[in-house]
């Protein structure tokens, strides 16, 4: 949980919006160097507190609009609702 951005998002119950994964200290840079990921949005999932995290990844460094951030949060909320039905 403490070694990745999904864990950070869950532990802090916050959405991480990262325009450059190699400029953010919360990212394990060695791991991401082997991937296409340059930017990401990671948000916690769960109705009564985080039980998971969902991320969206981009191959280019970029800034995100409020609409894009809201879309990822909406997906996480829907996943959280679906999980609460089965957990």
Please, which pLDDT band fits residue 23 given cuts at 50, 70 and 90? Answer: very high
Distance CA 62, CA 84 (A): 33
Structural domain that includes position 18: 5-86
- For 11, residues 6+ apart whose C-beta sits below 8 A from its C-beta are 1, 2, 50
Question: What CATH number should be reported for the domain holding residue 49?
Answer: 3.30.450.40
* CA distance linking residue 29 with residue 44, whole number of Å: 21
Q: What is the pLDDT of residue 74?
A: 96
Domains held by the chain: number? 1
Task: List strands edge to edge, sheet with 16-18.
Answer: 16-18, 39-45, 52-58
- pTM summary value: 0.91
Residue 87 has pLDDT above 80, yes or no: no
pLDDT at 58: 97
């Amino acid at each position: 949980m403490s070694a990745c951005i999904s864990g950070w998002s869950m532990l802090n119950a916050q959405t991480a919006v990262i325009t450059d994964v190699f400029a953010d200290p919360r990212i394990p840079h060695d791991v991401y160097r082997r991937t296409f990921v340059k930017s990401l949005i990671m948000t916690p999932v769960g109705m009564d507190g985080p039980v998971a995290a969902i991320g969206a990844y981009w191959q280019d460094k970029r800034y995100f609009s409020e609409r894009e951030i809201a879309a990822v949060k909406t997906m996480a909320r829907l996943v959280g609702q679906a999980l609460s039905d089965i957990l």
